[in-house]
Structure 1
Amino acid sequence: MLTSDSTPQSRTHRATVPASRWRRRLHLLLTVALGVTPVAVALCAPVMSDDTALVTSQPTVFPERTAVPQRPCQPGDRPETGMQGRVPKEDLLSGRAAQGYTCNLRSVGRFPTTSAASFDVYQDCAYVARQLGAGGVQVLDVSDPANPRPTDTLATPAMLDPWESLRVNAKRGLLAAAGEYKPYVDIYDISGDCRRPRLLSTAPILPGKGHEGWFSPDGNTYYVSTTRTHEGAGMTPTLFPVDVSDPANPRTLSSWTFNTQTHGGATTEDGTRSYACQQDAPPKDALTVLDTTAIAERASSPQPRVLAEVTLGDNQWCQGAYRVTYDGHPYLIQYGERSGSADCSRAGDNWATFGYPRIFDLADESHPRLVSSALLESALPQHCAEVTGEGAANGLGYSVHHCAPDRLYDPTILVCSWFGAGLRVLDIRDPKHPVELAYFNPGVNGALGTAARPVVRAERGEIWFAHDISGFYALRFENDVWPFDGSDPCPEYDDYYFSHYNPMSSCPTANFDGIGEPAPAAPRYRAPTS
């Protein structure tokens, strides 16, 4: 686990540097010497601030890596038989893998269906994006988690191929998705009866094409991002803010081009900051901090301002991020779905074999500082030759894909889908020292895995998620493993995210009134003592 005392380093290996890396260095030297900088072509190009943390092409070398520590499992669990996060070939051959692996979590309900990479919930309803070609988005009534019931299927153009873009905005009761192969945005009203979504619009978003997407917390902007660029990185718009203040008539506000493709992201409550992943191979793979005030204010031809561009070392395909705070201090949780060393080519530089979550200190938003990383044992470079090629057959192995905290203010756990390693829970009460608390990997056959974003239903003590083959699950922790004793049951500040996933909460901070400021100036809630 990397901490603030063990940050990645850059160094030169004269005897072992491949020719391609020497060429990159030569390119960098020429760039500096000639004063040439890349130019992004866009309908509305992002504006770089003077103090932007620029991407560097220097080779990253990490200190010795260690796996995130684990809490003990409960009697009766079915723990992993080998290293953390691995499904051994022996278990696949013997049939042990088909029984699944569990630690501190148990299933209380399941609905069999296929699942792709999108999942979200609203009130007692769950929305499962099924595999492409399987008929769209499955709507489930989960008011009784032991008996999830199908109530509808959404088969409009975007819902047939939403990829990772399916999102709910609870404040306005909207469900949206952007089609990857059919360039449409579909918007449904779910505020009346979430079991029977009502179509409001199916609108073309050309030149945009979907892949990922997210709402601003106020529900007035839906950001469509795409990795489907054909003309080349830096030449094609990849992020499209869409005005959905009138959801029956959505309109694209702008088209933004970055140095590479855009993946997932998130926006603060006041709309002035967005955290967007730029997806590429290292060293271009990066997390960007964007000033999106122009969108929040609905300026004419709105442009973002890039406040920071943080390279991610061994990560390939940055997936998403959340801004959280602890005692008012801001942090960024970032995760990415692939490693740049899945073939072990950089194991000698201590690159992880698979993707993993990171936490950054955001006190200086122009220079986020890495404070911790959560690698599974299966991702450690010393095991690369043993595990490479295992896990999910889509080539993503045992990488993390999507994550979700229990709340944004004073979070306690981070729940992640980890492809071939299943659903896993991290204790993040100390952002500098995460610990693995639990995992649940359904019976597997080595073909696919857990891909979609999970959801924490904190006040129900449940986690809802979808497995690619086994379908929808409702899970509960065993023997009071979580919530933690001594933790406030409510977020410390107004938390729209907590309110979304805990409807009818009695917490005074479970509301949609937060404005996204760094929280020290806000009134802090503390649970009353008995």
Structure 2
Amino acid sequence: MNVQKQRNIEVLSHTDQGGRADGLQIMVTDGYAYVAHMFSGGFSVLDVRDPRNPKTVRHVPAPPNTWSIHLQQHEDLLLVINAVDLFKLYTDESEYYGGNIGDSYHRIPKNYAAGLRVYDISKRDEPREIGFMPVEGLGLHRIWYVGGRYAYVSAHVDGYIDYIFMVIDMSDPTKPVEVGRWALPGMNAAAGETPSWGADQRYALHHGLEANGIVYSAWRDGGLVLLDVKDPTKPEMLSHLNWNPPFGGGTHSCLPLPNRGLVVVADEAVADECADGVKYTWVVDVRDPRHPVTISTFPTPDEDDYATLGGHFGPHNLHENRPGSFQSDTLIFATYQNAGVRVFDISNQFRPEEVAYFVPGPPEKMFDTRPNRPKVAHSADVFVDPNGVMYLSDWNCGLYILEYKG
């Protein structure tokens, strides 16, 4: 295994996931990890009952030209997105991140899958597809599902310029069905709406997490939106907070901490060597959900000159505090792309402190299919189990299984 640097984190093991070392979102349950692939397609199942000796037991391929990069697990269900593989259409990242993906229809192949795929994982190492909900459009991007009747997704559907918010009824997992949707004003082109933002801005839902009837959602250059979903068929906006401009946008991930009236919000770095500016992870006071207020930012990693290292430097994903995983109102686990995974203590919400980090070394093999990508870490997602064991994915470096020692 290739380790660049670490603090207060022990490496338990590393795996190339059966020769598919590219990964994105991770779910872990009952000693099995489900890892979505960024470039290899589909997802893999790993036996991690012994976290020091992980074993890849199965790969479930995606349909041709299809992303299955995000997934959610609850009890015996695994929900997996299907969308057109946009990185096959955009080799220049500035095109993907810098405009509406609805403008890309002329590039799209005829054979791809778009929608929500549902698997029965009652046999943890043998996912069995039991349902599929197609959508007319480019497909889904991310999901939030922790059981119950509803899943909350970002979806591109015909008529909208980019990804919007959608509610899916999962009461019959073999037949998921849309029951509600919401979009920022200006996104519904089919209804004659036009954007009020610039052509170089991308207003699009990345995803949202629900807590106590409120979805905390990240809209890329559109900022943070709090949605009331007490009636899931009629989502209503409670508030909209956008710090872009003057900051660089790319709002990506939200982690509500309802017991403290806070939400942690990460802005994604989307350009090499900080060409889009230094991005931040924000702490937002949402005690009054109609009047959110930013109160602090996480410290930016500085033990190395990550901004000039190559690739992306800055926030990406946050450990989601899911039921059955490690849950904390004070410890936040966050991926920072070429700066690996970081752990922050926000006991004092006005002065977050970094308490641990782990940075993989350069990948041994590049799985990123796009030309001229720098050979550096691109840590993508982190899942933390109840014992503090961390599962860290990377676009090229494989899966690291770590233990937080704080």
Give the TM-score taking structure 1 as reference length. 0.59
| Aligned residues of 1:159 and 1:178 also touching (Cα < 8 A) | no
Residue 333 of structure 1 aligns to a residue whose secondary structure is strand
Unmatched tracts of structure 1, length 5 or more: 1-96, 296-301, 346-352, 482-530
Q: Find the aligned partners of 1:177 and 1:405 in 2 and give their Cα distance.
A: 17
Query: Is the alpha carbon distance of 1:340 and 1:105 closer, same or farther for their aligned partners in structure 2, counting shifts above 3 Å?
Result: closer
Which residue does the alignment assign to 1:262?
A: 205
**Aligned partner (choices 270, 290, 299) of residue 227 of structure 2:** 290
Which residue does the alignment assign to 1:222?
A: 151
Which residue does the alignment assign to 1:137?
A: 43
1:346-495 equivalence runs, <5 A: 353-378=277-302, 388=307, 390-392=309-311, 397-404=312-319, 411-444=329-362, 446-458=374-386, 460-478=387-405, 481=406
Residue 168 of structure 2 aligns to a residue whose secondary structure is strand
Identity %: 22
Paired AA for residue 144 in structure 1:
D
Query: Is the alpha carbon distance of 1:366 and 1:159 closer, same or farther for their aligned partners in structure 2, counting shifts above 3 Å?
Result: farther
Which residue does the alignment assign to 1:196?
A: 126
Query: Is the alpha carbon distance of 1:471 and 1:421 closer, same or farther for their aligned partners in structure 2, counting shifts above 3 Å?
Result: same
Paired AA for residue 398 in structure 1:
F
TM-fit CA distance, 1:155: 1.9
Residue 316 of structure 1 aligns to a residue whose secondary structure is coil
**Aligned partner (choices 242, 246, 250) of residue 317 of structure 1:** 250
Query: Is the alpha carbon distance of 1:410 and 1:466 closer, same or farther for their aligned partners in structure 2, counting shifts above 3 Å?
Result: closer
Q: Find the aligned partners of 2:65 and 2:74 in 1 and give their Cα distance.
A: 16
1:70-125 alpha-carbon deviations (Å, 9 max, x no partner): xxxxxxxxxxxxxxxxxxxxxxxxxxx96411111121122113224322222211
Query: Is the alpha carbon distance of 1:147 and 1:199 closer, same or farther for their aligned partners in structure 2, counting shifts above 3 Å?
Result: same
Larger radius of gyration: 1
Residue 289 of structure 1 aligns to a residue whose secondary structure is strand
Unmatched tracts of structure 2, length 5 or more: 85-112, 186-202, 364-373
Which residue does the alignment assign to 2:29?
A: 122
Q: Find the aligned partners of 1:99 and 1:263 in 2 and give their Cα distance.
A: 30
Q: Find the aligned partners of 2:151 and 2:65 in 1 and give their Cα distance.
A: 15
Q: Find the aligned partners of 1:400 and 1:146 in 2 and give their Cα distance.
A: 28
| Aligned residues of 2:206 and 2:220 also touching (Cα < 8 A) | yes
Residue 100 of structure 1 aligns to a residue whose secondary structure is strand
| Aligned residues of 2:83 and 2:138 also touching (Cα < 8 A) | no
Paired AA for residue 286 in structure 1:
G
| Aligned residues of 1:378 and 1:398 also touching (Cα < 8 A) | no
Paired AA for residue 128 in structure 1:
V
| Aligned residues of 2:71 and 2:78 also touching (Cα < 8 A) | yes
1:182-231 alpha-carbon deviations (Å, 9 max, x no partner): 202111122x222222211133122461122211x3342222214x6897
| Aligned residues of 2:6 and 2:359 also touching (Cα < 8 A) | yes
Query: Is the alpha carbon distance of 1:118 and 1:424 closer, same or farther for their aligned partners in structure 2, counting shifts above 3 Å?
Result: same
Equivalent residues, number: 343
Which residue does the alignment assign to 2:81?
A: 178
Q: Find the aligned partners of 1:324 and 1:149 in 2 and give their Cα distance.
A: 34
Which residue does the alignment assign to 1:69?
A: none
| Aligned residues of 2:273 and 2:309 also touching (Cα < 8 A) | no
1:120-161 alpha-carbon deviations (Å, 9 max, x no partner): 2222111111232x2420100100001111121122449951
Which residue does the alignment assign to 1:337?
A: 268
Q: Considering only aligned residues, what root-mean-square deviation do their CA atoms show, in Å?
A: 3.0
Residue 231 of structure 2 aligns to a residue whose secondary structure is helix
Q: Find the aligned partners of 2:143 and 2:126 in 1 and give their Cα distance.
A: 22
TM-fit CA distance, 1:244: 1.4
Higher helix proportion (structure 1 or 2):
1
TM-fit CA distance, 1:409: 7.0
Query: Is the alpha carbon distance of 1:406 and 1:369 closer, same or farther for their aligned partners in structure 2, counting shifts above 3 Å?
Result: same
Query: Is the alpha carbon distance of 1:201 and 1:339 closer, same or farther for their aligned partners in structure 2, counting shifts above 3 Å?
Result: closer
Q: Find the aligned partners of 2:64 and 2:330 in 1 and give their Cα distance.
A: 34
1:357-405 alpha-carbon deviations (Å, 9 max, x no partner): 11111111111111210131559xxx9xx8656432xxxx211100116
Paired AA for residue 168 in structure 1:
Q
Paired AA for residue 175 in structure 2:
N
**Aligned partner (choices 56, 72, 76) of residue 167 of structure 1:** 72
Query: Is the alpha carbon distance of 1:315 and 1:375 closer, same or farther for their aligned partners in structure 2, counting shifts above 3 Å?
Result: farther
Q: Find the aligned partners of 2:133 and 2:242 in 1 and give their Cα distance.
A: 35
Q: Find the aligned partners of 1:430 and 1:356 in 2 and give their Cα distance.
A: 18
Query: Is the alpha carbon distance of 1:237 and 1:107 closer, same or farther for their aligned partners in structure 2, counting shifts above 3 Å?
Result: closer
Which residue does the alignment assign to 2:199?
A: none
Q: Find the aligned partners of 1:354 and 1:413 in 2 and give their Cα distance.
A: 23
**Aligned partner (choices 79, 87, 100) of residue 4 of structure 2:** 100
